[in-house]
Amino acid sequence: MSRDEGFDPRAKKHLGQNFLHERGVIAKIVQAIDPRPDDRIVEIGPGQGALTFPLLDRHGTITAIEFDRDLLLPLAAAARAHGELVLLNANVLDVDFTALAEGGQLRLVGNLPYNLSSPILFHALDHAAAIQDMHFMLQKEVVERMAAAPGSKVYGRLSVMLQAYCTVTPLFTVPPGAFRPAPKVDSAVVRLRPRPAGTIGIDDPRGFEAVVRAAFGQRRKTLRNALSGIADAADIAGAGLDPGARAEQLSVVDFVHLANRLHSKA
């Protein structure tokens, strides 16, 4: 979106406002989302409408969640030429996606505020059953962490938690110049597809999260030490794992086995 279209171009840094303006990138994102007639698309942080308007042109109706009150009126006014925009003025972290989905499933999209990336991703995981898929623009380094495999330096809690519940597909990278103002980092678009309920195999989601958090809380330590208080060496060995191994060596399935074993003993 540019000055020519009458919007205040002053971006609020504390709200992660880096507005997309590169048409080619916007077209690629819309193409990746590929809206279908019955989809229920929910955009997080529509900003000045860079993604919203092309999505409305394709799809006709979108719900969008924007925290910044100053953006609402111009956004709603400009959206009328494109389709039906349902605007929610809220902090996305307070939005109950399960309630919003009304028994169906949502397609979440957004060029996310980078300072809130992880909280938004974890919030979405809490509502995974109500989400068909997600297409998010994030800091490239965050996308690398999300998609990392065991053994990688950036494999960690974010990788295990997201890959346990979703397939994670990095799509393409986006340079700083595609945004106004330009962020200091490269960006990337990623697709997340929640796995169907019943195929994940985690018996106790809270316990699983606690094990993953503890294991990576002190990633240089062996599992035996990092998990002390949660699991002893016999529990770890009983899950088929080496108590002397470190968290970054375990696959997502290893974590599921370990957490399920601890849950079965509880």
Contact call for residue 47 and ligand SAM (CB under 6 A)? yes
Of the pair 22, 203, the CB lying nearest ligand SAM is at: 22
Q: How many CA atoms lie within 13 A of 69 on its CB side?
A: 0
Of the pair 24, 196, the CB lying nearest ligand SAM is at: 24
Shortest distance (Å) from residue 202 CB to ligand SAM? 28
Of the pair 167, 172, the CB lying nearest ligand SAM is at: 172
Which of 33, 55, 56, 65 forms a contact with ligand SAM (CB under 6 A)?
65
Contact call for residue 92 and ligand SAM (CB under 6 A)? yes
* One-character DSSP codes across 191-256: EEEEPPTTSS--S-HHHHHHHHHHHHHTTTSBHHHHTTTT--HHHHHHTT--TTSBGGG--HHHHH
- Which residue in this structure is represented by tokens 């970054």? 248
Q: Which stretch binds ligand SAM (CB under 6 A): 14-22, 122-130, 231-239, 245-253?
A: 14-22
Binding residue count for ligand SAM, defined by CB under 6 A: 24
Residues 231-260: x where in contact with ligand SAM by CB under 6 A, - otherwise, as a string: ------------------------------
* Rounded Cα–Cα distance for residues 250 and 248 (Å): 6
Name the DSSP letter for residue 138.
E
Contact call for residue 216 and ligand SAM (CB under 6 A)? no
- Which residue in this structure is represented by tokens 């330096």? 153
Is there a contact between 196 and 131 (Cβ–Cβ < 8 Å)? no
Cα dihedral 185, 191, 197, 198 in deg (nearest 10): -90
Which of 42, 79, 116, 166 forms a contact with ligand SAM (CB under 6 A)?
116
Binding interface with ligand SAM (CB under 6 A) = 15-20, 44-48, 50-51, 65-68, 71, 91-93, 111, 113, 116
